[in-house]
Amino acid sequence: MTTQSTNEVTHLNSVQNNESGDSLKENAKQVRSNIPVPGKLLKVFETFSIDVKTTAKAFAAKCGFFPVYNAVHQDRVPQKVENFFFDPLVMVPLLAAYRASIPTMLVGPQGSGKTDYPKQLAARINQEVTHIEATPETSIDQLIGFSGLKDGSIKTIKGKCAKAFENGDLLIIDEVCSLKPEVLIGLHSLMEPSTKQLVIPAVDNEAKDVILKRHPAFRIVLTSNTGGTEIKKNFKATGIMSDAILSRICRIDVDYLSEEIEIPLLLKRAEGISPTMAQSMVKIANHVRESYKEGQCSSTICFRSLMKWASLYNLLGDVDLAFRMTIFNHFKNDAKARAKLAYGSHISALKLTPQELKFLKD
């Protein structure tokens, strides 16, 4: 066990023993969540299949082990996906940012797995997750909360971010660039690793501000299609993020898996299909993905859709019908044209039956 790992476990465990009397009374009624389990550590290089030879010595020394938490509410811990592929180009910087408590924004096209990385990290360290799907309608009250009169008495309404801050969750905010500028400003203090207290503001004279203590396990991961630096026509409700926000976070770019990785992964996760069929499915997906990234169509194909397509093909024996059910029928006309072209180019070479190819003649 490294000194860094020992110190983190000691520090996180000590939080429970150094709280005020009021907090101790409250915790006597309810066990505090997201505290490291003594003596239980996650081996990072083994768990995430990271080659220690390709990483810096500092990373190996300080990030080789992670605490495993005691998650009280197991239903809030993501389900572990076996055979999930952790791209080292994503996981190494993500783990380093997690260790440093620096909010991280994963940036990439739809369906590239941006949300899956932090969720699968949480699944392996047994940390509870607060997941927020941001929209332009999301308000600061929903995220942080407020203190004020409600139903004739003073009440404190904790927002989702505030609850995560206090509980020690891994907070995931998807499509963060869709939030309005004034809402992002309200998250400034939350994005600072040095912030030890979060204020839930009073909204009328009778109420008082409520102060929450930061749980040492609290972390933030954001996702975005554009990174907050540009607006693309394919993505709805995305905006430019201010330098004030961007300076508080680090950015990691995420792309679709390469064919060399995705084809074997599809064969492993969707048993029963042939290597030739898996290769064709991935090539079709990549054809549509490239068109999507270049702004030539409005839809893309994620790995999840590929697995559903393969699974239904195994059950139906009809690759065309399975493709329509899981992918094609969801597309708008511009994407259907691209998908149809890709399908004809790759599936036709497999000498499939006329029934399997009939939709090319529609």
Average pLDDT, the chain: 86
Lowest mean pLDDT among 147-151, 167-171, 254-258, 292-296: 147-151
Tokens of 266: 């599809």
pLDDT digits (tens, 9 = 90+) for 68-93: 999 999 999 999 998 899 999 999 99
In this predicted structure, the answer to whether residue 236 has a pLDDT above a threshold of 60 is no
Q: Kindly give, in sequence order, each residue whose CB lies less than 8 Å from that of residue 260, ignoring residues fewer than 6 positions away.
A: none
pLDDT given for residue 338 in this prediction: 86
CA distance 213 to 23: 10
Q: Where are the domains of the chain?
A: 3-253, 259-361
pLDDT digits (tens, 9 = 90+) for 163-193: 999 999 999 999 999 999 999 999 999 999 9
CA distance 217 to 66: 11
Question: What CATH number matches the domain at 3-253, 3.30.56.10, 3.30.470.10, 1.10.10.10, 3.40.50.300?
Answer: 3.40.50.300
For the beta carbon of residue 240, count every other beta carbon within 10 angstroms.
Answer: 13
Q: Kindly give, in sequence order, each residue whose CB lies less than 8 Å from that of residue 143, ignoring residues fewer than 6 positions away.
A: 132, 159, 160, 161, 162, 183, 186, 187
**Range from 27-36, 156-165, 334-343 that averages highest in pLDDT:** 156-165
In this predicted structure, the answer to whether residue 259 has a pLDDT above a threshold of 60 is yes
In this predicted structure, the answer to whether residue 352 has a pLDDT above a threshold of 70 is no
CA distance 219 to 95: 11
CA distance 111 to 255: 9
pLDDT given for residue 291 in this prediction: 92
